[in-house]
Amino acid sequence: MSTLFSSVNLALRALLTHQQSIQVTEHNVANVNTPGYRRQEAVLAAGLPYPSPHLTGNVFAGQMGTGVMVDLIRRFNMEFYDGRYRRELGETKRWSLEQQVLSQVESTLSETGEDSLVSKMDAFWSGWQALSNDPTNMALRADLKEKADNLVGALNWRANALIQLREDQDLAIQSRVDEINSIAGQIAKLNAEIASVKGSGDQPNDLMDSRDQLLDRLAELSGATVNIQENGEANVTIGQHALVIGSRTFSLTTAPDAANFNLTKITWQEDGLDFDASRGELAGLLDARDRVIPAQLDALDNVANTLATRVNQLHQTGYGLNNAHGLDFFDLTGPTTHHALNIRLSTNLDDLNNIAASTTTDSPGNGNLAGTIARVQEELLMSGNSASITQYYTGKVGEFGLEVSGAETRSRDRQTVIDSLSSMRESVTGVSLDEEAANLVKSQRAYQAASRMMTAIDDMLDRVINGMGLVGR
């Protein structure tokens, strides 16, 4: 039966409920600029009516309400947006990072400026052509040696820069693997806490915010996909391999790969399977390290090897001013497998008289061999004897330019998509100060009304307790 004391309880419940609703609004406002925070809402519901329905007992005019209560603290979230956002985020980061590496490679090759490798090769061939016209001119011999040295230096510098860039990407790969393992451990810990809180009937909103931030970062790194279970746990996979299952993690490990210049190889620690991902920063770094940069190194190596081999082959048949014969012009021996890094001028050229320009002995004015070497520029020595050295290299540079342009386009297009998805997600999960102000006023008014109701009940109780039995006195 409803009494004044039950009315006190009803008013108190209203006060506490609207106070909690105000606290939720305060929490939203406080975190308006907090990255990853998703707004919350106190969902109100009517209390259970009294008395409970039963077949026997006193007959009342109807069930009496018991006031209001906070049914749950709702967290605004849309898993559909999250899943699509993370897929696009992985793609965006993959192409964005690869575009950055390609830009560094493009800057290293520097084929659009005056210091290009093609210009160095043209100067080298012109040096031989000039020597063919005046083979006894020591100034022309010195000029040829200088141009050859410039060409060698350009090949050495580019090869060394690309190798260093590849090693830099390798360090970045190791760093991201460590970060993935660290994030996986944090997600597993949060999974256990979230499942425990949900199991007790509460809503672990802030814990889920923290986990979602980690899941977003994991998508950036590896293109990981997420599947939320009924108990609130997030199962995470990369490619077709599990990374997190409940509170258990499957770690990635790294080790030098002897088959790939001792660069880092990524495998799964538990079963030894190779890591495979098509999205995320790791995919972009691996593609740049193992495909893009080696392709440019191979092009430089082919140029260095073909040029040095052909020039040496011809130079060995000629004679210097001192009748030196059978000497190499270039030296390709070195500690690495990269011809572009190993190529040097032969020590034979320390004596300029050893430069062979003549096709016969005792013929200082014969510059026929120098002219033949100059015409190597036009010989079809590359790509199955279908292209000259210059044509081959400019073709490779052109192909690389298209790849750079393609990466830039993909990065820009993906960024447009991710910006749109981010705006859509923010419209659902983000905090609006205008909306929170309206909610605050609504809760405040309800709290004030509950306070006045409590005051009225207090007056009624005072009359009953302190005013009864005083009639006639």
Q: Torsions phi, psi of 304, nearest 5? A: -60, -45
Burial call 73-94: b when 16+ CB within 10 Å, e when fewer: bebebeeebbebbbbbbbbbbb
Question: What pLDDT does 306 receive?
Answer: 95
Q: pLDDT tens across 377-431, in order?
A: 999 999 999 999 999 999 999 998 888 889 889 989 988 988 888 888 888 888 9
Quote the crossing angle between the two packed helices 79-109 and 389-429, to the nearest 10°.
Answer: 150
pLDDT tens, residue by residue, 83-112 = 888 999 999 999 999 899 888 888 888 777
pLDDT tens profile 164-178:
999 999 999 999 999
Alpha helix stretches (DSSP H) within 110-242: 117-133, 138-199, 205-222
Q: Which helix (H) or strand (E) holds 285?
A: helix 281-287
Helix (H) or strand (E) holding 302: helix 293-315
Q: What is the pLDDT of residues 101-155, one digit of tens each?
A: 888 888 888 777 678 899 999 999 999 999 999 999 999 999 999 999 999 999 9
- Please, are residues 288 and 173 in contact by the beta-carbon 8 Å criterion? no
**Strand, helix or coil at 279?**
coil
What pLDDT score does 313 carry? 96
Q: How far apart are CA 135 and CA 362, in angstroms?
A: 13
Going from N- to C-terminal start, the domains of the chain cover 4-76+431-467, 84-419
Q: Which of 166, 103, 405, 169 is nearest to 293 (CA)?
A: 166
Token pair of 108, please? 């290293």
